[in-house]
Chains A and B, each alone.
Chain A
């Protein structure tokens, strides 16, 4: 058994929470941030296009 094996058996709840739930919620947080960023960028592009159309 290596160090990680021993640690996970001594701290199963920490292993489960940090290894799976923390990672899953971090992934969700990154996905939400990416979706919000995409919307911000898309809105900026649409506004720029609208402004360019107004000037013509």
Chain B
């Protein structure tokens, strides 16, 4: 039986689907965090150069990857909202921004904590670090711009432009370690292989999936509130069981 995916691009149907998916994503995220951190702290060996400090990567790398990808997804949704004028796309972009900003902050924070014992400084104006900081500012700018305009549809259009223009920063973050001579190390995991211990790879991959599942769960929960808020004048909202009670 073919699934009509376009059906779920309408807030009416997506609201219910999101509600059903949130517990699955949330519980899976919690389990995978526990497994990933167990492997990361109790199975993965100590690094011969960085000692125990390298264990920060199990949260630093996933949060950095997610902060970049969420921005691209947010810009994609914002562009769809701008071009096709679809309601749910703009709502999704609005819901993604705070989570993306938090992941960018966690990436910078944990990076600083790793930088102090390894480089001797919490912060350096390195290309990778600076472009990630700009990403955080882009998220905050998107949130602030959206909140500053009362009419949600106008706010969607204005902030969509910022999201689309800002997406140019994501490849800059990713390739900064290749384009410039940076203090930040290059990619450890490449298509050609990696020199990392297998337990380190497993821990990082599992926490990456856990972070993704957490991000999806919290974004779906946020978008449900946005749908409720924006569609509050419609009949289907007043007929929802949670509104009737």
Contact = CB atoms under 8 A, between A and B. Distances in A.
Interface of A: 5, 8-9, 12-13, 15-16, 19-21, 23-24, 27-28, 31-32, 35-36, 38-39, 42-43, 45-47, 49-50, 53
Contact of A43 (B52, B109, B110, B243): B243
Contact of B106 (A5, A27, A35, A39): A27
Contacts of A53: 238
**B interface secondary structure, majority:** helix
B142 interface: no
Contacts, number: 81
B221 to A, nearest CB: 5
Contacts of A20: 56, 59-60, 109-110, 113-114
B110 A31 contact: no
Given A12-B52, A19-B110, A24-B63, 5 more contacts: A28-B218, A31-B98, A35-B222, A38-B222, A42-B225
Interface string B33-55: 00001000100000000011101
Interface in B76-131: 98-99, 102, 105-106, 109-110, 113-114, 116-117
Contact of A39 (B41, B56, B224): B224
B63 A28 contact: no
Contact of B214 (A13, A23, A28, A43): A28
Interface in B177-216: 214
Contacts of A32: 218
